[in-house]
Amino acid sequence: MAEVPEVETTVRDLREAVVGRTVTATEVLLPAAVRFPTVDEFTTSLTDRVVLEANRRAKYILLPLSGDLLLVVHFALWGTLALVPTDQPRLPETLVVWHLDQEQDLRLFDKLGYARAAAGAAEVLFERLDLHSLGPEALDPGFDVDVLARQLVRRKGVLKSVLLNQRVLAGLGNRDTDESLWLAGIDPRRSAASLTLEELTHLHASIEKVLSEGIALRGTQRDLFGRKGQAVHRRYIFEKRREPCPRCGTPIAYIRIGGRNTFYCPNCQK
Ligand SMILES: [Zn+2]
């Protein structure tokens, strides 16, 4: 599942292997994968652009290109990017192919077909994708307990839903929220505004641990070079319904919160 550790792993790989490279041509295999502009404008505008940087904001991959163009990729649930030789046969889940110099392709894959790309001037993209309204980044060095407290203090909504709201905090997906709340020993059904300073401190440390471990293990998906990440083996409770809680042995419970699958320990998450 593509959450921030998976996206961040890809961005770091892009920095290593794609920044400085030239897009020589673009092929769109699933027209719906291009959010905007039109498919023709998308492919034409990207030709002969050099990839200048690779950055991330929430789950968006931002690739500034030469000539003041920005290419944005979003993995949705299961998207991945791969750097492969141009002559490598295409998988059926290929949505977009960017031909690069040196006989290599950057390919966007998604079995469900939900991953998306868009291109345009940076200010247009930020406006249309509403990137300005994203909250502070959980992986930013400036993200501390005070920032978390400030973001949650007036939120009366259910804690899990508030943490998933990228306008409150950019960086937690469904899996990483459940894992962080379990690690912090906090019930996901609580009101966000009800957390004590001690609980906020635990939650902040737990979020940092879950995200940094996910990145250190290179996520749960294939990276840019096709290598499988190892983080899938490190889940505490996510998708472990009825299995014993690693802390107290109580069977892990499953509920839906705000329409999202939620796993928690009914005994040790207070
Ligand atoms: Zn427990």
pLDDT tens, residue by residue, 138-148: 999 999 999 99
The pLDDT value given to residue 179: 97
The pLDDT value given to residue 162: 98
Q: How far is the CA of 247 from the centre of ligand 1 (A)?
A: 5
Q: How far is the CA of 125 from the centre of ligand 1 (A)?
A: 43
Segments of 176-252 assigned E as strands: none
Q: How far is the CA of 4 from the centre of ligand 1 (A)?
A: 26
Segments of the chain assigned E as strands: 22-28, 34-36, 49-50, 55-57, 60-65, 69-74, 80-85, 94-100, 104-109, 116-120, 253-257, 260-264
What does the alpha-carbon distance between residue 175 and residue 260 come to, in Å, rounded to a whole number?
A: 10
Predicted model pTM: 0.96
What does the alpha-carbon distance between residue 218 and residue 31 come to, in Å, rounded to a whole number?
A: 30
What does the alpha-carbon distance between residue 264 and residue 187 come to, in Å, rounded to a whole number?
A: 7
Q: How far is the CA of 262 from the centre of ligand 1 (A)?
A: 15
Q: How far is the CA of 163 from the centre of ligand 1 (A)?
A: 21
Closest CA to 50 of 31, 60, 64, 34: 64
The pLDDT value given to residue 81: 98
The pLDDT value given to residue 232: 80
Weakly modelled stretches of the chain, pLDDT under 70 = none
The pLDDT value given to residue 138: 97
